[in-house]
Amino acid sequence: MNFTRVVDPAGALFGLLLPVVAALSGILLTKTWEPRLPAEISTYWTTTSPNGFATPTSSAWTFALMTVLFGGGCSAISALAPAMLMMRRMMLVVGLSVVGLILTVQVVMLSIQLDVFDPTDTELPLWPLGLGVVLGAAVGVTGAAVLRDYRRRVSATHPPDPRLPRATTPGAVADTVGFGTVGSLVLLALLGIAPAIAVSLLVDGWWPAAVFVPLGLLIVSRVRFQVVVDQSGIRVVNMGMTALRYGIDEIEGARVDLIKPFDDFGGWGFAVKGPRNFGVVTKTGSAVIVTTACGDRLTVTSARAEEMAGFLNSFADSRFRHDHDRTGNP
């Protein structure tokens, strides 16, 4: 039965419901604290000092709208079951980081104005920026881990073309593509740790580390993948989670070709070129190109591309031989 789920329940919970709950929580908290707040509270949109004033109710609804539009707008894609799992996970982490940031700033903004006669004397601390991002990202990673891949799976009806490479003794191969461990640490230092230290010294506080380091980790996760080929098929692992997987029964064939990431995919890292054409392209050179019965094509640049292609085709052959021996059908 070719049934494709439209909504991932976990994605709906984390990507749709949580931003709405966060927005409503801000409104409820404002209503609860309203008797202790000034008639007009200070708002902080660009600095730590007040740069505007609004009634508590109008401020609460503004924060709620921002939470749903910006945070929820990013994370909502995680609920779309047919969408690419890797993209759904990434957008969930980004969206909930934004939700955490907005809600934390709102709570702290209200708390510093409780029982205050003159709100112009208040000053918003900067630590909520870091705390909010960290809390939101943590919830986002938790949600990303429970998202499932509901894409439609179709079994191949014929073995790979005989002209495609085969392995004499097929086995398993795992290759880290993209930045290695040293390169990843250097990139994290340049994009996460160094900016965090520089801004922390500038503002005399620790909060920039909680913003820049998670951002650096998010960027690094986009340039480092592990590709595993074995008798079950091929899978791409990102952020410690399987982001893309094709079973051996889905694979129609695997070939090797020379790939230039920017010429062939318009970019570097995880890329999509046209419908159902995916690439993990991290260097110019040999790549294994896997075609599947559902119409997807996966391209992975790797120094072990020839080995991967031979293993996949040989495993696919074995699968057809096994089916033939079991059923007696040609």
Q: Do 132 and 246 have their domain in common? A: no
The answer to whether 19 and 79 are in contact (CB under 8 A) is: no
Q: Do 137 and 241 have their domain in common? A: no
Name the residue type at position 31. K
Give 53-89 pLDDT, tens digit per residue.
889 999 999 999 999 999 999 999 999 988 888 889 8
Q: What tokens were used for 254?
A: 């695997």
Phi then psi for residue 296, to 5 deg, are: -75, 155
pLDDT for the residue 27? 96
Residue 277 falls within a domain, yes or no?
yes
pLDDT for the residue 2? 41
Q: Do 47 and 139 have their domain in common? A: yes
pLDDT for the residue 203? 59
Residue 160 falls within a domain, yes or no?
no
Residue 186 falls within a domain, yes or no?
no
Residue 155 falls within a domain, yes or no?
no
Residue for token pair 């903004």: 109
Give how many domains the chain has, as a whole number.
2
The answer to whether 262 and 248 are in contact (CB under 8 A) is: no
Phi then psi for residue 4, to 5 deg, are: -115, 120
Residue 217 falls within a domain, yes or no?
no
Residue 162 falls within a domain, yes or no?
no
Mark the ranges of the chain whose per-residue pLDDT is less than 50: 1-3
Mapped onto helix, strand or coil, the DSSP state of residue 268 is coil
Per the structure, the complete domain to which residue 105 belongs is given by: 9-146
**Nearest C-alpha neighbor of 244 from the set 89, 96, 74:** 89
Residue 309 falls within a domain, yes or no?
yes
Among 131, 146, 161, give the residue marking a domain's end.
146
Helices (H), 234-277: none
User: What's the pTM value of the predicted model, to 2 decimals?
Assistant: 0.75
pLDDT for the residue 4? 63
pLDDT for the residue 84? 80
> What number of residues does the chain have?
330
Q: Which CATH number covers residue 307?
A: 2.30.29.30
Helix 181-188 to helix 207-221 angle (10° resolution) is: 140
Give 131-168 pLDDT, tens digit per residue.
888 899 899 999 999 998 887 889 999 999 999 999 98
Residue 249 falls within a domain, yes or no?
yes
